[in-house]
Amino acid sequence: MSLIAIAPPAFDVDIDLAYATTQNFTGEPIYGRAVAQLHPEAATALTRAIGLAAALGLRFRVFDAFRPVEAQWRLWEAYPDPQFIADPQRGSNHSRGIAVDLTLIDGASGTALDMGTPFDDFTPAAHHGHPDLSAEVQRNRAILLGLMTAAGWDWYRYEWWHYQLFDSQRYPLLCDAAAPLPMMTPAPDREAAQ
């Protein structure tokens, strides 16, 4: 099974992969290569969402897409809470290449719309429909939800940024070696052996 790289110009998105930097909840880079990849069906659904957003003068900023099984284990070891991090024994839809974490940005300025919390905020304020958010934040989240669901994506109630394809179990879990562009940093013992 092949994954498709999600990058301009083929995909009019801003790529900001949090797990390729220290700017994530672990404080360490998880990915050695900052490349967003998706299953072809997810890439098609993202293309639909991009078109819908463009009609409103908006674009997407992608925080995560395909996440190798090895990366899922590293996230789970750092924060083993199944409400926010999928148990790697069950599998994450990111590891199937059918989930994407994203937000909306202004198409002209590139400024992110206010969603009330940052990406990977593991608090109730990150839940869809959380009542203690401003009208502007609720509206921005509703626009994101509307664009993504109209394009064929399912949503996750605890994370305003997470969307996935329906019927996820029909897609296999993928390790880093299965990706056309492997993402993981080599383990220290492999580096020493080379």
Positions marked active-site: 159
Give the CA distances from residue 95 to residues 55, 64, 108, 190, in Å, rounded to whole numbers and listed in that order. Answer: 31, 11, 32, 23
From CA 173, how far away is CA 90, in angstroms rounded?
Answer: 10
DSSP summary character for residue 69: H
Q: Using an 8 Å Cβ cutoff, are 161 and 53 in contact?
A: no
- The pair of structure tokens assigned to 91 is 């599998």
- The pair of structure tokens assigned to 168 is 């996820």
Cα-flanking dihedrals φ and ψ of residue 26, to 5°? -85, -20
Give the CA distances from residue 25 to residues 34, 95, 99, in Å, rounded to whole numbers and listed in that order. Answer: 17, 19, 19
> What DSSP line would sit under 148-160, residue for residue?
HHHTT-EE-TT-T
